[in-house]
Chain A
Amino acid sequence: MIVMADVTVTVGWYMILAAVLFSMGAAGVLLRRNALVMFMSVELMLNSVNLTFIAAGNELGLVEGQVAALFVMVVAAAEVTVGLAILVAVFRRRSTANVDLLSELKG
Chain B
Amino acid sequence: MIDYLWLLIALPLLGALTLILFGKHIGEPASGWLASALVVIPFLIAAALTVPFLNGAESETVFLFSWIPVIGANASLLWDPLSALMTLVVTGVGGLIHVYSVGYMHGDPRYPRFFAYMNFFIASMLTLVLADNFALMFVGWELVGLSSYLLISFWFVKPSAAAAGKKAFIVNRIGDWGFLIALMMIFAAFGTLDFAIVFAEAHGVLSVGLATAITLMLFIGATGKSAQLPLYVWLPDAMEGPTPVSALIHAATMVTAGVYMIARTAVLFEMAPISLAIVATVGALTAIFAATLAVGQRDIKRVLAYSTISQLGYMVMAVGLTAFTAGIFHLMTHAFFKALLFLGAGSVIHAMSDEQDMWKMGGLRKYVPITFVTMAVGWLAISGLFPLAGFWSKDEILASAFAKGGFFLILWGIGVVTALITAFYMTRLIILTFFGDKRWDEGVHPHESPWTMTIPLIVLALLSAIAGLWNTPVRLGLEHFLEPVFGDIHQVHPAGGLTVWALALISLAMVVIGILIAYGRYGRGDLPNEEGGYWTAALDGYGVDTFYGKVIVLPGKTISTWLAMVFDTKVVDGVVNGLAYGVRAFGSSMRVLQTGWVRSYGAAIVAGSLGVILWLLLQGGAF
Contacts and interface: CB of A to CB of B under 8 A. Distances in A.
Contacts, number: 34
Contact of B599 (A30, A104, A105, A107): A30
B278 to A, nearest CB: 70
Interface in B74-106: none
A79 B598 CA distance: 17
A82 to B, nearest CB: 16
B599 A99 contact: yes
B599 A33 contact: yes
A107 B606 contact: no
A30 B594 contact: no
Contacts of B599: 29-31, 33, 99-100
B597 interface: yes
Nearest to A104: B596
A36 interface: no
A106 interface: yes
Given A29-B602, A30-B602, A30-B603, A103 B591 contact: no
Interface residues of A, number: 13
A104 B594 CA distance: 10
B589 to A, nearest CB: 10
Interface residues of B, number: 13
A72 interface: no
Contact of B596 (A30, A33, A103): A103
A26 to B, nearest CB: 5
B566 interface: no
A51 B236 CA distance: 97
B603 to A, nearest CB: 5
A63 interface: no
Interface in A30-46: 30-31, 33
Contacts of B590: 107
Contact of A107 (B596, B598, B602, B603): B596
Contacts of A26: 606
- Chain A CB count within 10 A is highest, among B591, B593, B595, for B595
B597 A100 contact: yes
Contacts of B618: none
B1 interface: no
A102 B591 contact: no
Interface string A32-70: 010000000000000000000000000000000000000
B200 interface: no
Contacts of A104: 596
B597 A107 contact: no
A89 to B, nearest CB: 16
- Chain A CB count within 10 A is highest, among B590, B592, B597, for B597
A102 B598 contact: yes
Interface string B462-487: 00000000000000000000000000
Interface of B: 590-599, 602-603, 606
29 contacts: A26-B606, A29-B602, A30-B599, A30-B602, A30-B603, A30-B606, A31-B599, A33-B599, A99-B597, A99-B598, A100-B597, A100-B598, A100-B599, A102-B596, A102-B598, A103-B595, A103-B596, A103-B597, A104-B596, A105-B596, A106-B594, A106-B595, A107-B590, A107-B591, A107-B592, A107-B593, A107-B594, A107-B595, A107-B596
